[in-house]
Structure formats: structure tokens, C-alpha cells
Amino acid sequence: MGAKGGARGFLHGAFSPAAHPLRPNCDCQAASDCMHFPGQNPGWWSYDGMADQYEAVAVPHYFAPVAEQLIADLQPARGSRLLDVGAGTAIVGSTVLRKCKNVRVVATDLSLMMLRKAKQRGVPSVVADIGHQPFPSHCFDIVVASFVLNHLDDCAIAIVELGHMLRPAGQLAVTSWARGPSENALGDVWNAIVSNWIDREALRMAVNEALPSEAELSELAKLEAVLEDAGLPVTQSRVVELPVQMTMASYIESRCIAMASRFMMAELPSYDWSAFRQEVTAALVARFGESAVFGTKVNVVVAVRPMEV
């Protein structure tokens, strides 16, 4: 599975601001101004600064159970090759390595710090934008894009690229939140307190900019349509309900690495952020106690690359 590198590879320091295939409306003049390639310019929207917390709290409670579901749906055959894109710390790839015999896995992501965790999990990885995979076409049996399409302005371009990575009859699996971890009574308490500390409209706009496709892809039919429109017929589609139970301390930690909190941390003086955190912790513990119990819903869609295209 030789990496091509070069023109299609995404290398730190080799970024040209003219090449924004997934952000066609981007008018950034320089990589240093650009939030659209977070790996280039770690800022509040980047995953670089939160890989430890993501791995410790978000993976076990939110993303590992989804990885298990994906692998049950995909049933990777012996000898198959799987590409995990927007892989983060590669929970999908590492779950495949743990559960399936003789499957080769590689992970790509924009965030080097997230991929360092992937390496610790034993998953080989390459920094790459989802729309510029540094591999030859048609060399994977399975491509997985779990909880990453919501970060893109134009998912269609990325899906076409991922379709090119597949062998004929290869499978592409994608996921998105149908009901995320903040869409519950705990999240309502959190959001009410957020309004005391930051301008809601500024926060809404910032999160929309960082996660432009989040709202649209929360609908299963829209996620299916992105694949169908790219010429990849959907073979499996479902909404998975996942119960979550964690300590309140872990819940708070997980909300503190959500995109909205990253913006707040960047905007607020650190003593205001600490005071917000104390206020929200006190309110959540007073209302719900030391445990957080709620449900999430995840859209899971699998499509296949036709034999003849």
C-alpha cells in the first residue's frame, strides 16, 4: 500500500492557500489566517490541543461504541485493507485491528496530535486532508469517515475522493450525530449558563463556521443523499441509539472539548472561563448529582462502489 505523497499528500508547511477544494468560498490570503486547514494553524477549532482529553473522555464514552457498530456492519474480510479518514485517534482503525484477523489499516487526519494517539494505538497514520488522500486510487476495500463530514463545507467533493480510494465493490461508511451529547437536559442547563458568559450569536456563527455541515448531516436522509449523489449506492442505513453513562466530571470534561467550548476558551479571559466552569459544574451537580445519564443517536450509512463506473 505505497503512499504516493507528493502533490496529493498534505504536508505541514507545504500548504498553498489557493488550494481550498473543500472550502470553495474561502478567501483567506495566507495559511496563517486560515481556519479551514486546522492542522496548519492550530487555533481554537483545531483538535491538536485536546488530543489527551479526547482520548481519555470522548473516545470511551462516545466514539468507541460507534466504532463497534461500524465494524459489525462492515464485517471486514480477512486480507482486506481499510482506510480510516478524519480518524482522530483512530478508534475505528484500532477496533478493527483488535477484532478482525489479518486486516491492514491506515489512518489519516489533519491533526498531527490526534494521529500521535493513533500511533500509540498501533495504527499507522499520515497527516492528510480528507479531500487529498495520499494513496493510489482503488486500493482500499473499506473507507470509513466517522464524525468528520460535519467539518466540511462541501462534503460532495470529499465523498468523490473517498469513492476513488475504493476498489470496485468496496464499502464507504460514514457517521454523523442525529442527537449529539449536548442535546439533552444536561445540555440545556449548560447552554443556559453559556448565555451568561458569551454572546450567543457570536458563538453560533463561530460553531457554524467550524462545523458547517453539522445541522444538515444530522438528518439520515441527507447523509444518504451525499453518498448516492456521488454514485455510491447506499446498502445499509440506520440510526443507532446509544445510552451513555459517565461521571459528571467526565461529562463536563467532554463538553469542555466540544467546539463551542473551544471558542469560549479562546474568547474569554482564563479567569472567566474558570468561573464559567465552576458555575456550570455547580448547576449540573445540583440538578443531576454526580452521574450523567443520557442518550445519543448516531446516523450510520454504508455505501458501495459499483463494479462498473
Ligand X SMILES: C[S@@+](CC[C@H](N)C(=O)[O-])C[C@H]1O[C@@H](n2cnc3c(N)ncnc32)[C@H](O)[C@@H]1O
The contact set with ligand X (CB under 6 A) reads 22, 47, 63, 86-88, 91-92, 109-111, 114, 129-130, 146-148, 151-152
Between 80 and 125, CB nearer to ligand X = 125
Least separation in angstroms between CB 103 and ligand X: 17
Least separation in angstroms between CB 81 and ligand X: 18
Between 132 and 222, CB nearer to ligand X = 132
Query: Which backbone phi and psi does 60 adopt, to 5 degrees?
Result: -65, -35
Between 41 and 146, CB nearer to ligand X = 146
Least separation in angstroms between CB 60 and ligand X: 11
Contact partners, residue 230, CB within 8 Å, separation at least 6: 156, 159, 160, 163
What is the three-state SS of 216-283?
HHCCHHHHHHHHHHCCCCEEEEEEEEEEEEEEHHHHHHHHHCCHHHHHHHHHCCHHHHHHHHHHHHHH
Between 42 and 136, CB nearer to ligand X = 42
Three cell numbers at 255? 463538553
Type of residue at 9: G
Least separation in angstroms between CB 239 and ligand X: 17
Between 151 and 305, CB nearer to ligand X = 151
Least separation in angstroms between CB 168 and ligand X: 25
Q: Determine how many CB atoms are found less than 10 A away from the CB of residue 307.
A: 8
Q: Which residue is nearest to ligand X (CB)?
A: 88
Longest dimension (CA), the chain: 60
Least separation in angstroms between CB 222 and ligand X: 18
Least separation in angstroms between CB 282 and ligand X: 28
Angle, in degrees to the nearest 10, between helices 270-288 and 259-267: 140
* DSSP for residue 55: I
Under DSSP, is residue 121 helix (H, G, I), strand (E, B) or coil? Answer: coil
Please tell me the distance from the alpha carbon of residue 93 to that of residue 107, in angstroms, as a whole number: 7
Beta 125-127 vs 166-179: how paired, if at all? unpaired
Least separation in angstroms between CB 74 and ligand X: 14
Between 52 and 169, CB nearer to ligand X = 52
Three cell numbers at 113? 496530535
Between 110 and 159, CB nearer to ligand X = 110
Between 78 and 114, CB nearer to ligand X = 114
Please tell me the distance from the alpha carbon of residue 151 to that of residue 118, in angstroms, as a whole number: 20
Please tell me the distance from the alpha carbon of residue 103 to that of residue 77, in angstroms, as a whole number: 7
Q: Where are the beta strands (DSSP E) in the chain?
A: 81-85, 104-109, 125-127, 140-146, 166-179, 234-247, 291-304
Beta 234-247 vs 291-304: how paired, if at all? antiparallel
